[in-house]
Amino acid sequence: MDALIQAFGLVFDPVVLGVIAVSAVFGMFVGAMPGLTATMATALLVPVTFFMPPVPALGAIVTATAMAIFAGDIPAAMLRMPGTPASAAYADESYEMTKKGQLNLNMGVNLVFSVAGGLIGVAVLILAAPALAEVAINFSSFEYFWLACLGLTCAVFLTNADAVKGFLSLFFGLLLATVGIDPSAGFPRFTFGEVELMQGINFIATMIGMFAVSELLRGAISVRDAGHVVVQQVGDMFRGLGAIWRRYWANFLRGSAIGTVIGALPGAGADIAAWISYAVSKRFSKEPEKFGTGHVEGIVDSTSANNSALASAWIPALVFGIPGDSITAIVIGVLYMKNMNPGPTVFTENPQLIYSVFLIFILANLIMLPLGWAAIKSARQMLRTPRNLLLPCILLFCIVGSFAMTNSLYGVALMLVMGLFGWFLEEHGIPVAPLILGLVLGEMLEQTFVQSMIKADGHYLEFFARPIAGMLGAATLLIWAIMLGRGVLRSARR
Amino acid sequence: MSAPHSPRFARRTLLAAGGGLLAMPALAQSRYPNRPVQMVVPWGAGGGTDATARIVASMLEKRLGQPFNVVNRTGGSGVVGHSAIATAPADGYTIGMITVEITMMHWQGLTQLNPESYTPLALMNSDPPGVQVASNSPYADVKALAEAIKARPAGTFKASGTGQGGIWHLALVGWLQAMGLKGDHVRWVPSNGAAPAMQELAAGGVDIVTCSVPEARAMIDAGRAKALAIMAPERNPQFPNVPTLNESLGINYSVGAWRGIAGPKGLPAEVTGVLVPALKAVYDDQEFKSFMTQRGFGMVYADPQGFVRFMAEGDRAMGEAMRGAGLARG
Amino acid sequence: MRLNDALLGAILLGFAGWVWWMTTFFPAFPGQDYGPNLFPRILAGAIGVCGLLLILRGLRSRAPLVMLDGWTREPARLVSFLLIPGAALFYILVSDFLGFIPTAFLILLVLALWFRARLLVALPVAAGVTLTVHWFFSGLMRVPLPRGLMDPLL
């Protein structure tokens, strides 16, 4: 109890609160800028936190990342450009809602459910940290292989396009993921002797190209036409939320639960949480046909999930010093620098610091409500900007964002190529979302497969030998069987 | 963190502003460094190399009065960042942290770059590999483990720590060879770095992880793993209970993952004349020392000449070990 | 622009074959049965199957081989379209030499003017956005944006 009182004293200090406020604005901006990720915000905060005591240092990181993950939803809804990868899963859905004139409702849902999902994640972080991490830490390559398979299965759920084209897109994504140094033998594949290609296909630059540049290409065709953009009436973004809440509270709880569990798994963060919860939402929805047409249901699930994953990623980081995602990988470095070596002992040696982190998490999620509101209101001005000025500016943001991801022109070139490729794919009715997911999960899939085969000396049954792996594997195979069976039935009926 | 303006610098700025563009060349000619310097790191943000580079950069910044920006150029097992340093203009405004991989990658045929592609400035750190097993492993010390490895057929034991042909893989290969076994007597499970390998170890996926002790520290502190030995000439003061291989097995084998600061080949003398003493001062600074000890990183310093010798020796040894293990290509 | 499914399928089939051919140059690794060529080959095979399915479907549909949208025949719209990749290409080619500030300013100004913005609006917007982006990315986020010709001034 002493520690908790001490923690209150540490957090509610004018300097700490000032740092939190500044990092909140910083995080909002970074998240809302496509191409700047929450991970990048953290990495760039680290040199600043060198000069701070532990509580403001961690406070800056916690607040900035929480804001960034939410703010990524804003450009997704307004411009179909997810501000961070965590918003990519439902960027299309959000944008469709905006096109239907439901921007107000969409932003209200994103804001309120982000805050609520974040709070659930924090609650779990506080209550269940040790127990959840115990489960996740026992995962070996077998379990991760099945998790990757489950994630890819989601890609097939995610798309409304016809199956051949959906799979084609997925295979392209997986193939792109094989560019660069291979995980089994360290051999550079498909690099054509280019040093830059050895780092592989950068996921963010690809995403900027596929989602944003392809949209610019389509938009450019009609910019010169005189007609001005219809700006929607600025309204009350909280109107209608009560009904949504009553209708979809179960979705919110499910999304937050999925996000929390996935966030706590080492290596899987907010972005994968959003993809999976969106797919689950569609799978169990009463109206799956509405998904992809600007339906709010999937957004409730996934926007809750990515914010809850952010907090729960700290569970394995704090308890075992094992990062739950790329953000906490950096956080662990900061913890070491601040003499708070992560591990079970940190809870007994420095409980007041751990409680401070918890308090800051709660605080960050609460101030997200007014700050997010302000950010949305000001972001709206973007839509009022004449398109002939907005379009060149967005192109510049895309270029700079891609450049920043690789710190070289390789990112810009990749963005350009992927933009044209994405445009070409969509012209042919081939969805790009499965490609992005394949690119994200490709390396994990191949790496864990090779590791598992080496460990099993080539015996496939080993993939089911461990209890959790067996369960995950059986679930995956069952879903595949159901999908196949339904496909056969459907074609038989035709 | 703006650069502190010396009076001289401020006067120059005023002059430049007053005299317009014509005065600019005068400013450009002032003493190195007179604008921000990039420090390229071939590994990702959040890792040990990144953390070391960031503390060195922030301390250089304090000493030399210009921002030292850490730029992560990751991927390709380090090839991308290392070639970014080597191919940068040799004007002193791009330097970087080079790591042990520079003595290994060219043997694997991944790149043409080798230690001679750089102007070495200072060696800052070196970490020896350890031998880690899960805490519930039946082997109480490295002797018991070594005997079990010898007794069982090849391929029974599985080890991990890096990708195929990475530094910790070579540590294992060298250790096995020193015991008179073949390099692949223990099967190597390639991993994406030390942390995922330690996770595999804790989850029961592999039997041994040969990463450095600081990298294994979180799992050891969590009671999930234990360090049986380190492959170094002497014990690490941070982990005094972990014996060396020489003490317990009589095998005198040591390698290490080192990190140093270097620039592209042909850095001018006025640049090295500033950076070499500044790096020495950073190394001797109490702040740097306490940071490195905190994280359990081994402190090793070498001046440019010493660094050249150190790398040449390491390069030769690595080539030998990699050819012996069939890992060298081309 | 839209290719007939059969043509698209044929291109994909050729692509899959090319990927497979490339994997034949990947080395086998001693002591490891699952080498670097396993996954690319599975994927090349899968893309090839998708290509075959598309060929079958395309042959049945009898759509024209290539369908061009109306806008591709209007030069002004075609230029608007090509200006987007053109601007990115321009950045790739000259930013190292010119530096970020002149390159970004030129891109913004030329695009805005071509899209019929008034010069009096486009000029300050291009300058303001360029400087803001430069300040944020280069100053605050420490992204190494190219300095180019502006080097002595920054």
pLDDT tens profile B127-159: 999 999 999 999 999 999 999 999 999 889 999
Residues C144 and C79 reside in one and the same domain: yes
* Structure confidence at residue A132 (pLDDT): 58
Task: Give the sign of the dihedral formed by CA C13, CA C18, CA C21, CA C26.
Answer: negative
Residue-wise pLDDT for C48-59, tens only, equals 999 999 999 888
The answer to whether A322 contacts chain B (CB < 8 Å) is yes
- Nearest-Cα residue of chain A relative to residue C100: A400
Nearest to B28 among C29, C30, C152 (CB): C152
For A304-313, write each residue's pLDDT tens digit. 999 999 888 8
Chains near A (3 or more Cβ pairs under 8 Å):
B, C
What does the pLDDT look like over B25-84, one tens digit per residue? 434 446 888 888 999 999 876 677 888 998 999 999 999 988 898 888 887 788 899 999
Distance from CA of B318 to the nearest CA of A (A): 16
Closest-CA distance of chain C to residue B69, Å: 6
CA C119-C120-C123 angle, 5° bins: 70
**Is B69 in Cβ contact with C142 (below 8 Å)?**
yes
Which residue of C lies nearest to B94 if distances are taken between CA atoms?
A: C144
Interface of A with B in 406-435 (CB under 8 A): 406-408
The dihedral region occupied by B293, where left means phi > 0, alpha psi between -120 and 50, and beta the remainder, is alpha
**Mind listing the pLDDT tens digit for each residue in A100-130?**
888 888 888 989 999 999 999 999 888 876 6
3-state secondary structure C78-133: HHHHHHHHHHHHHHHHHHHHHCHHHHHHHHHHHHHHHCCCCHHHHHHHHHHHHHHH
Q: Tell me how close the Cα of A422 comes to any Cα of chain C, in angstroms.
A: 13
What pLDDT sits at residue B277?
96
- Tell me: do C35 and C96 sit in the same domain: no
- Which of B39, B69, B187, B329 should we substitute to test contact with C (largest number of C Cβ atoms within 10 Å)? B69
pLDDT at residue A321 in the model: 65
Given this model, what pLDDT does residue A34 score? 65
How many Cβ pairs closer than 8 A exist between chain A and B?
Answer: 162
Tell me the pairing of strands B37-41 and B94-99.
parallel
Distance from CA of B236 to the nearest CA of C (A): 34
Domain range annotation of chain A: 2-493
What does the pLDDT read at residue A1? Answer: 63
Q: Would you say residue B6 has pLDDT above 70? A: no
Is A174's CB within 8 Å of C89's CB?
no
- Cβ–Cβ under 8 Å, residues C9 and C52: yes
Domain match, C59 and C94 both:
no
Question: Structure tokens of B266?
Answer: 């042909």
Rg of chain A over CA atoms, in angstroms?
A: 22
Could you give the number of structural domains in chain C?
2
**Residue with more model confidence, C106 or B232:** C106
Cβ contact A344–B73 (<8 Å):
no
DSSP strand pairing (B257-264 vs B225-230): unpaired
Chain A residues touching residue B134 (CB < 8 angstroms) = none
| B38 to C153: CB separation less than 8 angstroms, yes or no | no
Which chain C residues are closer than 8 Å to B71 by Cβ? 142, 144
- Residue C28, chain B, CB below 8 Å: the answer is no
C47, C67, C87 - which closes a domain: C67
| Phi-psi map region of A367: left, alpha, beta (phi>0 left; psi -120 to 50 alpha) | alpha
Higher pLDDT, A443 or C23: C23
Same domain, C20 and C87: no
> Distance between CA atoms of A374 and C134, rounded to whole angstroms?
24
pLDDT of residue B4: 38
Axis-axis angle for helices A351-384, A54-71 (nearest 10): 30
Contact C141 A404 (CB under 8 A): yes
Please name every residue paired with B225 in a beta bridge, in sequence order, or none if there are none: B134
Q: Are the Cβ atoms of A323 and B195 closer than 8 angstroms? A: yes
What is the model's pLDDT at position A313?
A: 85
Would the CB atoms of A47 and B70 count as touching at under 8 Å?
yes
Domain boundary residue, one of C52, C67, C82: C67
What torsion do the CA atoms of A183, A185, A191, A196 make, to the nearest 10 degrees? 60
Which residues, including other chains, have CB under 8 Å from residue A355's CB and lie 6 or more apart? Answer: A3, A4, A6, A7
Q: How many CB pairs under 8 A join A and C?
A: 161
Same structural domain for residues C78 and C138? yes
Apex CA B143: angle with CA B142 and CA B146, to 5°? 85
- Band of the pLDDT at B311, cuts 50, 70, 90? very high
C27 in reach of chain B (CB within 8 A): yes
With a cut of 60, say whether residue B11 has pLDDT above it: no
* Three-class SS state of B224: coil
Structure confidence at residue A51 (pLDDT): 63
Q: Choose the weakest-confidence range: A251-265, B254-268, C22-36.
A: C22-36
- Degrees, nearest 5: CA angle B60-B66-B72: 65
Distances (CA, A) of C151 to A74, B35, C80, C99, C131: 36, 9, 32, 8, 15
φ and ψ at residue B48, rounded to 5 degrees: -65, -40
Are B184 and C144 a contacting pair at CB < 8 A?
no
User: pLDDT value at position A17?
Assistant: 92
C100 and C130 together in one domain: yes
How many Å from the N-terminal Cα to the C-terminal Cα in chain C? 45
Q: Is the dihedral of CA A417, A423, A425, A430 positive or negative?
A: positive
Q: Which residues in chain C have their CB less than 8 angstroms from residue B24's CB?
A: 152-153
**Do C78 and C25 reside in the same domain of the chain?**
no
Token pair recorded at residue A176: 């792109």
More confidently predicted of B6 and C73? C73
Closest residue to B184, CB basis, from C27, C31, C152: C31
Confidence (pLDDT) at B15: 39
The amino acid occupying position A169 is S
Q: For residues A10 and A61, give the distance between their C-alpha atoms in angstroms, rounded to a whole number.
A: 16
For range C111-140, the mean pLDDT? 91
**Integer Cα distance of A55 and A78 in angstroms:** 35
Count Cβ atoms within 10 A of the Cβ of residue C64 and give its class: 0-12 exposed, 13-18 middle, 19 or more buried: exposed
A195/A419: higher pLDDT: A419
- The type of residue at C108 is L
Q: Which residue has the higher pLDDT, A76 or A396?
A: A396
| Among A183, A454, A457, beta carbon nearest to B163 | A183
Q: Which of C67, C84, C105 is the last residue of a domain?
A: C67
What residues 147-166 of chain A have any CB closer than 8 A to a CB of chain C?
A: 164-165
Within 182-211 of B, beta carbons closer than 8 Å to C belong to 184, 187
- pTM score above 0.90: no
> What is each CA distance from A146 to A190, A317, A447, C15, in whole angstroms?
27, 23, 12, 29
- This model of the complex carries an ipTM of 0.94
Model confidence band, residue A50 (pLDDT cutoffs 50, 70, 90)? low
- CA–CA–CA angle B224, B299, A353 (5° rounding): 50
pLDDT at A397: 84
Residue range(s) defining the domain that contains residue C86: 71-150
Minimum mean pLDDT among A212-221, A344-353, A457-466, B52-61: which range? A344-353
Per-residue confidence at A383, pLDDT binned at 50, 70, 90? low
Q: In this model, does residue B3 exceed pLDDT 70?
A: no
Distance from CA of B325 to the nearest CA of C (A): 9
